[in-house]
A and B are shown apart, each in its own frame.
Chain A
Amino acid sequence: MITKILSGLRTQKKSRVEEKQLLEVISYIKRNPGLSIVDLGFNVGRIYKEIRKENTVSPYYAFEIQKDLVELARKIEDPNLYIIHAAATSFDGEVKFFEPKSWSKNFKGGATIHTGKNNLNDEAITVAAVNFGAWLAQVRPRSTKYFIKVDIEGAEYELLESMVKEKQLDPVEAVAVEWHCTKLGAENEAMYTARKNLIKLALWENGIKYFEWF
């Protein structure tokens, strides 16, 4: 009984933190209406819906690797929403991804191209891969700056490290990243935490506004 109550309180606390982080991001986007938005890991569009309450006109590019979620997203009537059925990576071509063994209650999240994540199915699914840094440089008019939400289940390290290394951060004004340091094996936590902090340092060095994501 006590365990259940405390577990409930813990969940509530986590929700409050997430809500606060989301409000910070929404408030930033509201203050910067000229930014285009890129959503890496669109899922069912929960964050899209929140952002659209404040900003209905900015181009919104949504990357999603799961076909069923892409089909759902394409039913959304929004002329400024562009759905890209592909994984944002450091190369063009194809990449394999893996779905989790079970889905969470509310979202079909957790599928990833990162093979080291806990509790993934063995069956690989092939999806298009887009060199994200190069894509950003091509798609934008020169003056466009982006807010990028990154929730790609462990693949964020390789992607952002590659963007730093290839000097592809110029179009990026702000990023919100969900990190997965603790979900990629206890023995690897130090490695992923160190890499996360090096990426954050590089983002700060490049003058990019950084948001911790849930």
Chain B
Amino acid sequence: MSLVQTLKENFSFLRYLEHEKLKSIRINGRVIDLGAKSEDERYFKYIQKDNIEKIDFCDIEPKSPRVIKLNLEQPFPVGEGIYDHVLYFNVLEHIYNYRNLVNESYRILKCGGEAHCIVPFMWKYHGDPDDFNRFTHTALYRKFSEAGFLKVEVLPIGGGFWTLIASLFSQKVKIWWIKYLIIRLFLAVGSMEEKLVGKKSSYALAYIVRAIK
């Protein structure tokens, strides 16, 4: 979906950037989506899917009967080495006992399976039901490594001072096309700065993690 369409549907600039990043994810086999709310989460439109055997959807507050009720703060009632892919997008920040989520996602993955996680960084407090954590890229690397993952890749989503400004300003207005103009303006400034003074990678709006067991 384009930036215009994303804003028209009242989603944030960050959500647009996340969707763009999701296009690089490829899933297959047996998949579990932790913190899914419903089975038709829009992010599945962007992920590449090959030979999906089954996707289990889980949440503490299911909005559909096909979503399994699961408290991510506690050990999961799921066997070891079951899944090829574990997904948790915009969930880790809401889990006070975040180590449980990372460790359990490792445990339920098959060897060679992958965990895919998106977690906001430069983003407002948003209780769902609460909001506890913001992690730097190095913290994410260490937390996933310490859980046992053999390879951990962390990439920023929306890095740079002007992207942050675009994100913040766009949240202050309600009309989609003004948001659009604000975002385009500050992205242009950021792009010009990048050409003039070199690339700056700080101020990520979020991070995406790919961790392989």
Contacts and interface: CB of A to CB of B under 8 A. Distances in A.
B153 A187 contact: yes
A143 B195 CA distance: 52
Given A187-B155, A189-B201, A3 B195 contact: yes
A57 B201 CA distance: 44
A191 B153 CA distance: 7
Interface of B, secondary structure class, is helix
13 contacts: A3-B195, A6-B196, A10-B197, A187-B154, A187-B155, A189-B137, A189-B154, A190-B141, A190-B207, A191-B154, A194-B138, A194-B141, A194-B142
Contacts of A190: 137-138, 140-141, 152-154, 207
Question: For this complex, into which size category does the number of interface residues on chain A fall?
Answer: 10 to 19
Interface in B126-159: 137-142, 145, 152-155
B79 interface: no
Contacts of B210: 187
Contacts of A182: 201
B152 A191 contact: yes
A84 B77 CA distance: 58
Contacts of A138: none
A6 B207 CA distance: 31
A211 B201 CA distance: 23
A190 B151 CA distance: 12
Contacts of B155: 186-187
B93 to A, nearest CB: 17
Given A190-B207, A194-B138, A194-B139, 19 more contacts: A3-B196, A7-B196, A10-B197, A10-B198, A182-B201, A186-B155, A187-B153, A187-B155, A187-B210, A188-B153, A189-B137, A189-B154, A189-B201, A190-B138, A190-B154, A191-B152, A193-B141, A194-B141, A194-B145
Contacts of A104: none
A197 B138 contact: yes
Nearest to B140: A190
B141 A191 contact: yes
Nearest to B138: A194
Nearest to A186: B155
A3 B198 CA distance: 11
Interface string B195-213: 1111001000001001000
Name the residue in A2, A3, A188, A194 with the highest tally of chain B Cβ atoms < 10 Å from its Cβ: A194
Interface in B94-142: 137-142
Interface string A1-33: 011001100100000000000000000000000
